[in-house]
Amino acid sequence: MNPIASSAPASRGPADHNVRDQIVEAAGEHFGHYGYDKTTVSDLAKAIGFSKAYIYKFFDSKQAIGEAICSKTLTAIVVAVEEAVAGATTPTEKFRRMFKTLAATGASLFFNDRKLYDIAAHSAGEGWPSARAHCERIRQILTEVIREGREKGEFERKTPLDETVHAIDLVMQPYVSPLLLQYNLDAVEEGPAQLSNLVLRSLAP
């Protein structure tokens, strides 16, 4: 009896994981075709062949399903930014790469996987935890870059650090926030570069 009892939880784990993946995949399809707002948990249950109650065993709400999709997407963007920053040797270049990568990954999402972009935009508009965590991580990376630039003498030190980071964050928003980026796609190539130059001039010691 004991071997069977000890092996049961392990056997359920992968099955649960597969069910969660099925739900998330079906949700992605439905959100893509009908939009997040028009899709219900009942719609997802019918698409997968599960009961609504069974879906609620894995996700306590439609938002929780959306969060699972959004969190994975936003995590990939953060990873791309971290890799871009890590590949630069100076704080100035780190900032340029950070801004460029944020704009480029957002634009790529818009053009290549609109359903994921729309969910990210919805999460930003509704202030989902995944969106707030994403914004906070980006601010952390920006803060680290600015602090390093000050320590190395590349950036001015008179303005309070939090004020500087907040101001730069505001400048970046039109090309970083999925809510705003969709209105600035025509300038997604030159905009971030021009604004980077503007910001870097203001940071000069």
Beta strands in 22-136 (DSSP E): none
Same domain for 92 and 173: yes
Same domain for 175 and 87: yes
- Cβ neighbours of residue 164 under 8 Å, at least 6 residues apart? 146, 203
- Cβ neighbours of residue 35 under 8 Å, at least 6 residues apart? 118
Same domain for 41 and 120: no
Same domain for 182 and 87: yes
Domain hosting residue 155, numbered range: 66-203
Q: How many domains does the chain have?
A: 2
- 35 torsion bin: left (phi>0), alpha (psi -120 to 50), beta (else): left
Confidence of residue 23 (pLDDT cuts 50, 70, 90): confident
User: How far, CA to CA in Å, does 59 sit from each of 32, 66, 125?
Assistant: 19, 10, 21
CATH number at residue 24: 1.10.10.60
Identify whether the C-beta of residue 88 lies closer than 8 Å to the C-beta of residue 148.
no
Long-range contacts from 53-59, C-beta under 8 angstroms, 24+ separation = 55/23, 58/16, 58/19, 58/20, 58/23, 59/20, 59/23
Same domain for 70 and 84: yes
pLDDT over 80 at 27, yes or no: yes
- Cβ neighbours of residue 65 under 8 Å, at least 6 residues apart? 23, 24, 27, 41, 44, 59
Choose one of 24, 40, 65: the last residue of a domain.
Answer: 65
Instruction: Identify the pLDDT of residue 15.
Output: 63
Burial 27-44 (b: 16+ CB within 10 A, else e): bbebbbeeebeebebebb
Same domain for 194 and 128: yes
Same domain for 106 and 19: no
Same domain for 142 and 43: no
Same domain for 96 and 189: yes
- Judged by DSSP in three states, 203 sits in helix
pLDDT over 70 at 76, yes or no: yes
Same domain for 136 and 177: yes
Model pTM score: 0.80
Per-residue pLDDT reduced to its tens digit, 118-174: 888 888 888 999 899 999 999 999 999 999 999 999 999 999 999 999 999 999 999
